[in-house]
Amino acid sequence: MSESFFSNDSSNESVLDVGAEMLSRVYAKAALNAAGDHDSQQRLIDELNAVVNEVLAKHPKLEKVFDSALVSQDEKLGILERVLGKNLSPSTLNFLYVLTKHDRLGILRQVVRSANELWKKRCNQVTVHLELAQAVEPALEQEIIATLAKTLDSKPIVEVKINPDLIAGMVVRVGDRVFDASTRTSLERIRQAMITSAVESIQRHHRP
């Protein structure tokens, strides 16, 4: 990827500076488009995720350096070369160089998050948060995933969390949508219904 994918016009930069989130989507889209075919885009996503999860997460001071205006672009480029140069493909490393030369390395996390969201849409994927009362057999988990795929008409990327407080059943979250089939919720509904019934009964018996 070359810098030609991004304008050097300062007026364009000021327009993009409406927010890091919007700006991150611009860079993420440009990075994926420049990566090439499907496999190359997947490799870009995998490598960017590794940078965030395996490097920045374990070395928070490095992230502060990337975001610091006191560290020059040349110094940041040198750090990228020394720390990541041997572990990334040329296209991914070049993309990090582009971010650095545009003073955007500090929003790398947002860019990677936006790239993941865009990639999931392109692959018709959707993130599903599956909360279970207890671990289930692999066969049953695959059956649940298959059912979700059919229901959502997308390829679910399932993140499983075990929560004993649910007692039994499960809670499925897809974006803002929540499907609660847990025993805890069922018991709570029964409890609320009993309370409501008792209150109504008391009110009837105390009417003048």
Rg (the chain; Cα; Å): 24
Digit-coded pLDDT (tens) for 186-200:
555 655 665 566 556
CB 1 within 8 A of CB 95: yes
Query: How far is the C-alpha of 79 from the C-alpha of 84, rounded, in Å?
Result: 8
pLDDT over 90 for what percent of the chain? 44
pLDDT category at 14 given cuts 50, 70, 90 is: very low
Q: Determine the pLDDT at residue 174.
A: 81
d(CA 81, CA 79): 5
CA–CA gap between residue 27 and residue 136 (Å, rounded): 40
**Residues 20-60: pLDDT tens digits?**
788 899 999 999 999 999 999 999 999 999 999 999 999 99
HEC-encoded secondary structure of 21-74? HHHHHHHHHHHHHHHCCHHHHHHHHHHHHHHHHHHHCCCHHHHHHHHCCCCCHH
H or E stretch including 120? helix 108-122
> Which pair of structure tokens corresponds to residue 55?
């490097």
Q: How many whole angstroms separate alpha carbon 127 and alpha carbon 52? A: 19
**CATH 1.10.520.20, applies to 3-121:** yes
pTM: 0.63
